[in-house]
């Protein structure tokens, strides 16, 4: 008797083990994180964690989430500004994995790199930025200065008018951010003033959230927040 043949036959008819719900959920969450543009490493690890330390950067994202619950139809913009090593990218990615509906992380450089032409791919890329329910624009200030134009402000205004949420992360100080991105013809653009006034009135959310650098002290003082990731990609 060919024992190996018998073993192969038995293996072919042995039922597969039942799926592990926890493993399936973890796999779906990882796929969702990748689809939402969350980079590997610490951002993905923190985004997929079931509990997180509420650092100042995470607290800013919680503030936005609460404002959205108070006024879900009010478009809003939150700019989290802080020095390097303040955890802005990780906090923004943590928020993206707890959003309802569609969510996406992009860098401002990638937004400005979309050609202005009307080719279908470019039109579709711009439409996604305008329509995704929660957009996280990361690394604002790392793009080249000569690439800047009013497309960023227009994107913020269009999204706010549509009742959508935009989170921005930057290492640029507040005054420089206003100068570089929110002024038109030397004055603060009225579109930004309208966003600021509307979200302050309707959901109590300020537009700028100052975030200090992470330190052993503020990490030790941070409480832990347990909110599992939402793997749904709708």
Per run of 10 residues, the mean pLDDT along the chain (length 234 residues) is: 62 65 86 95 94 93 95 96 95 94 96 93 96 97 89 96 98 96 92 96 96 82 83 57
Question: What pLDDT was estimated at residue 123?
Answer: 95
Backbone CA torsion sign across 69, 205, 170, 164: positive
Choose the CATH number for 19-226 among 3.40.50.300, 3.40.50.970, 2.40.50.140, 3.90.1150.10: 3.40.50.300
Cα angle value 185/182/171 (rounded, 5°): 135
Domain residue spans of the chain:
19-226
Question: What pLDDT was estimated at residue 22?
Answer: 78
pTM over 0.85: yes
Question: What pLDDT was estimated at residue 216?
Answer: 80
Which residues, including other chains, have CB under 8 Å from residue 22's CB and lie 6 or more apart? Answer: none
Question: What pLDDT was estimated at residue 1?
Answer: 54
Task: Tell me which residue of 102, 110, 158, 157 sits closest to 137, measured CA to CA.
Answer: 110
By the 8 A CB rule, do 134 and 164 touch?
A: yes
By the 8 A CB rule, do 154 and 122 touch?
A: no
Where b means 16+ CB within 10 Å and e means fewer, 126-142 reads beebeebbbbbbbbbbe
Question: What pLDDT was estimated at residue 219?
Answer: 74
Quick one: DSSP state of residue 147? Answer: G
By the 8 A CB rule, do 134 and 95 touch?
A: yes
Token pair of 174, please? 């507040």
């Amino acid at each position: 008797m060919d024992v190996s043949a018998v073993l192969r036959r038995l293996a072919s008819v042995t039922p597969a083990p039942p799926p592990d719900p926890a493993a399936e959920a973890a796999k779906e969450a990882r796929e969702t994180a990748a689809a939402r543009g969350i980079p590997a490493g610490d951002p993905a690890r923190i985004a997929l964690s079931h509990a997180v330390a509420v650092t100042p950067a995470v607290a800013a994202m919680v503030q936005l989430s609460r404002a959205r619950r108070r006024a879900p139809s009010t478009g809003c913009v939150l700019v989290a500004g802080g020095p390097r090593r303040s955890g802005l990218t990780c906090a923004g990615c943590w928020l993206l994995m707890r959003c309802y509906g569609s969510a996406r992380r992009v860098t401002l450089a990638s937004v400005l790199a979309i050609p202005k032409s009307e080719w279908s791919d470019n039109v579709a890329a711009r439409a996604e930025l305008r329509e995704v329910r929660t957009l996280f624009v990361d690394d604002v200030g790392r793009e080249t200065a000569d690439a800047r134009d009013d497309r960023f402000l227009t994107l913020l205004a269009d999204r706010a008018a549509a009742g959508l949420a935009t989170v921005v992360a930057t290492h640029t100080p507040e005054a420089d951010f206003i100068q570089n991105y929110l002024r038109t013809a030397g004055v603060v653009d009225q579109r930004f003033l309208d966003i600021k006034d509307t979200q302050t009135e309707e959901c109590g959310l300020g537009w700028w959230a100052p975030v200090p650098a992470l330190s052993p002290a503020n990490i030790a003082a941070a409480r832990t927040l347990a909110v599992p990731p939402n793997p749904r990609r709708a």
